[in-house]
Amino acid sequence: MTASTPAERRTRAMRLPPLRDADARAIDSFIDAWWAESGAARPTLDSYRRDLQGFARWRDRGDIAAADRAGLFDYLAWRSREGYSPRSNSRLLSALRAFYGWRLRQGLRADDPTALLEPPKLPRLLPKALAEADIDRLLAAADVDTPEGLRDRAMLELMYACGLRVSELVGLSAVAVNLRQGVLRVLGKGGKERLVPLGEEAQDWLERYLARSRPALAGSQAPHELFLTARAQPLTRQAFWVLVKRHAAAAGIDPRRISPHGLRHSFATHLLNHGADLRSLQMLLGHSSLSTTQIYTLVAREQLKRLHARHHPRA
């Protein structure tokens, strides 16, 4: 069977029955409780909500709270036939485990139907980092003579200098910046805070933005967020994605080769290439586990292999 395209899956999803009131209440109760228990970030909560709503709408009998293991198996099998990726199904299973585990702890059901479900095997994808020359061209692409262009330059410099996640960057508050000490207070996953050094170049562009661009964008308002649109509204992740692609095209970089998260990958890979140790890199990235950081050693190793193959006379 040929896997369906994302557009075909979205079309079929629109034909599913509407969400039942009982399912909506069960999911809302879980999301509220899960936020209080885990401190999960808003993007995580939103993806859990979408996954649970998708399962609830797919079921043609009973409500989601009463689903059994066979029903979960059937849904996962259907998604596999529809061409959903292993990564998407793995995220769905995380949402289901959290949902039914919470109901079990609350005494709302006597068993956990996800107990014997195995997560799909995920391919180990190496993060894609840009070359340092590409980064230089990207950072120089914004027109810093305009308020928006100066803002873009400051955001790109900051993301590359600090290795921020996109949500961390657009969620920065104006009071998170300490220019005197040259550090940034970042609120990461799970509500964990970390201090990240700015670096001279990023600090210089941030000072220019704060002195010239942000007052022009904010106008008479006093917004809490650090980075603003021309309407004094906080910049969204989607808007930052668009501006990264636009500046990549202006810099002569294929926009398909770059994403906002690619700047974070480039930050980590370039630090490692220049001698940073994994423990320091883990702290800068805000990883809770060192094993997550270790994947960048594989990236550096692959780059060394390509360098050897390209330049060694007997490669």
Interval 220-253: pLDDT, tens: 888 899 999 999 999 998 899 999 999 999 999 9
Q: 253-281: per-residue pLDDT in tens? A: 988 888 888 888 888 888 878 888 778 87
Which domains are seen in the chain, by residue range?
A: 6-105 (1.10.150), 132-311 (1.10.443.10)
Model confidence at 48: pLDDT above 90: yes
How far apart CA 220 and CA 228 sit, in angstroms, is 13
What's residue 301's pLDDT?
59
Handedness of CA 188, 189, 194, 198 (dihedral sign): negative
What is the rounded average pLDDT for all residues in the chain?
84
Q: Contact at 8 Å (CB) between 119 and 93?
A: yes
What's residue 290's pLDDT?
74
247 tagged catalytic: no
Q: Contact at 8 Å (CB) between 248 and 227?
A: no
pTM, to two decimals: 0.62
Instruction: Kindly name the residue from 49, 69, 245, 261 that is annotated as catalytic.
Output: 261
- Mapping DSSP to helix (H, G, I), strand (E, B) and coil, where does residue 224 land? coil
pLDDT band at 140 (very low <50, low <70, confident <90, very high): very high
| Residue with tokens 């960057």, as numbered in its chain | 169
Q: What totals of helices (H) and strands (E) does the chain contain, helices first?
A: 15, 3
Q: 141-164: per-residue pLDDT in tens? A: 999 999 999 999 999 999 999 888
What's residue 2's pLDDT?
45
Beta-ladder partners of 185: 195
Q: Burial, 155: exposed, middle or buried (Cβ in 10 Å; 0-12, 13-18, 19+)? A: buried
How far apart CA 38 and CA 95 sit, in angstroms, is 13
CA angle 187, 214, 203 (to 5 degrees): 60
CA dihedral 229, 234, 238, 241 (to 10 degrees): 60
Q: 3-state SS of the chain: helix, strand, coil percent to 5?
A: 60, 5, 35
Alpha-carbon distances, residue 74 vs 14, 67, 71, 310 (angstroms)? 20, 11, 5, 49
Alpha-carbon distances, residue 98 vs 57, 85, 107, 118 (angstroms)? 19, 20, 14, 15
What's residue 259's pLDDT?
83
Model confidence at 307: pLDDT above 60: no
Model confidence at 213: pLDDT above 50: yes
| Residue with tokens 């980075």, as numbered in its chain | 227
Instruction: Kindly name the residue from 9, 20, 137, 189 that is annotated as catalytic.
Output: 189
264 tagged catalytic: yes
Q: 63-104: per-residue pLDDT in tens? A: 899 999 888 988 988 888 888 888 888 889 999 999 999 999
Model confidence at 122: pLDDT above 50: yes
Neighbours of 186 (CB within 10 A): 21
Instruction: Kindly name the residue from 151, 153, 264, 270 that is annotated as catalytic.
Output: 264
Neighbours of 103 (CB within 10 A): 22
Instruction: Kindly name the residue from 48, 75, 84, 296 that is annotated as catalytic.
Output: 296
Instruction: Kindly name the residue from 79, 153, 265, 287 that is annotated as catalytic.
Output: 287
287 tagged catalytic: yes
189 tagged catalytic: yes
Q: What is the DSSP string of 85-121?
A: -HHHHHHHHHHHHHHHHHHHHTTS-S--TTTTPPPPP
Instruction: Kindly name the residue from 165, 214, 247, 270 that is annotated as catalytic.
Output: 165
